[in-house]
Amino acid sequence: RKVSLDHVGCSRNPLDKEGDARFEKRFRYLMLFSARGHRELAKFGQGNLRPKAPLQIPTYLGWSMEDDSKQYSNYEDLALYIHPDFRGVFFHDQGHRPPNLLKNTPQCIQLDAFVDSARVDLEYKVSQTKEVLMYKDFWLPLLREPLPVVSTVAPRKLLVVEDPLGEHGPAPTEAKDRRRFPAQESPDVCAKRLEIYRWVTGTTAADFAAEAAAIAGGAAVVEIMEVPFRPEHHGLPWHPEVKSRDTSVAYAAGQGRSRWMQAEDEISLPWVEARRVADELLEQLALGVDDVVGIVGLGTGAHVAFALAEAMMNRRRLLPVRLFTVCPPTVWPFEDAPTLGALVNTPIRYLTCPQSVAGPPWRLETATCGAFSHSHFEDKSTMVKLVMEEMTTLGSD
């Protein structure tokens, strides 16, 4: 009855917990190495297979931060669907393969204790290691508050946080150089997502203002407010410096940064600096306590938009009615990162293209106890229209 499962098994275990007779009492524990769960908008309704509550089954999870199969936040996301009291976590440096854990290492000692407890039906006591503590206060799914009631008469404003780096990211023409990786995405798919990302980072407040005027027939219902960066904000080290990988070798141990970890998907600027920027931006904004305020952040600007929403709540006691994050970085610094429910019940919309290789947005998803939803777009006009139509029709239903 001892089992070792990958991501397929983790999709079946929820069925046991939800009363599916085919899987009833089939699982006593899980061992998951480099295993990922289901995306909300994945094909064939895979999002519906995600657990409806954190699984309370002893589980030992391990992955490599250098995994060449997927960005490691995929593995973090899956871990959150295991209840923290049942979740053991360890990291290794051996890529995507099942790790060879050396005897007497902390990882091997923890694995032995896990297997021994499962073999003799003892209660599994999770060791409070550094890795376990990193995720201890996060879990999914969350019980969520309904959408807030929105006034139809109060002033309605959309704060547009453009990308502080302007249009940036690899050019679509670089896609042809990436085909040398084994099992790499096709060059045309890669070129499409690179093109869309550059569209997003080049989008400005003027694009939203034009759409607002078009929707309202020239008399805008939503006031578009550009959030003005200071000159020094543009030069901050928002993303890590990334060196080119040796494309002749993949999936091997010790290869360094995963080929799926795009520099644009990771924030390297410490949270204390990001919050300082947000405070400085907030000082420049004229917002009334009764205003209906939404925020849209674009690319790197989506990270700033999150910090701005946090600052609005803490300093102005004003909760955004929507936070739109468009192609946001999904890997954040751990130190001083926002806690679970940091934005209280602020509704968050996560907008990406279907071709995106960014990891799951679990940081955003756990940051609110309000609504969280995910939508796709494949061109700039569709993205702008999606945001503006939602802001315009708030409260109309």
In our burial notation (b when 16+ CB lie closer than 10 A, e otherwise), range 280-302 reads ebbeebeeeeebbbbbbbbbbbb
In the numeric block, which tokens belong to residue 226?
């550009």
Q: Which residues, 6 or more positions from 225, have their beta carbon under 8 angstroms from its beta carbon?
A: 157, 158, 159, 160, 205, 285
Strand ranges of the sheet holding 59-64, from the earlier edge strand across to the other edge: 30-33, 59-64, 87-92
Q: Are 392 and 216 in contact (CB under 8 A)?
A: yes
Q: Considering only residues 314 and 247, tell me which one the structure prediction assigns the higher pLDDT.
A: 314
pLDDT of residue 11: 45
Give the pLDDT of residue 23. 63
Q: Is 32 exposed, middle or buried (0-12, 13-18, 19+ CB in 10 A)?
A: buried
In this structure, what token pair is assigned to residue 336? 């001083």
- pTM for this prediction: 0.90
The token pair that represents 251 in the structure block: 């999936």
Q: Pairing between strand 292-298 and 348-352? A: unpaired
Residue 311 pLDDT greater than 70, yes or no: yes
Report how far residue 311's alpha carbon sits from residue 299's, in angstroms, rounded to the nearest whole number: 19
pLDDT digits (tens, 9 = 90+) for 91-120: 998 888 788 888 998 889 998 999 998 888
* Contact call for residues 272 and 301 (beta carbons, < 8 A): no
Q: Quick one: 345 exposed, middle or buried, by C-beta within 10 A (0-12, 13-18, 19+)?
A: middle
Q: How many CA atoms lie within 13 A of 378 on its CB side?
A: 5
Helix or strand (DSSP H, E) at 293: strand 292-298
In terms of Cα–Cα distance, which of 166, 163, 189 is closest to 178?
189
pLDDT tens digits for 1-55? 333 334 444 444 565 555 566 666 667 889 999 998 887 767 667 778 888 999 9
Residue 249: how many other CB atoms lie within 10 Å: 12
Q: Read off φ and ψ for residue 55, nearest 5 degrees.
A: -70, 130
- Residues above pLDDT 90, as percent of the chain: 62
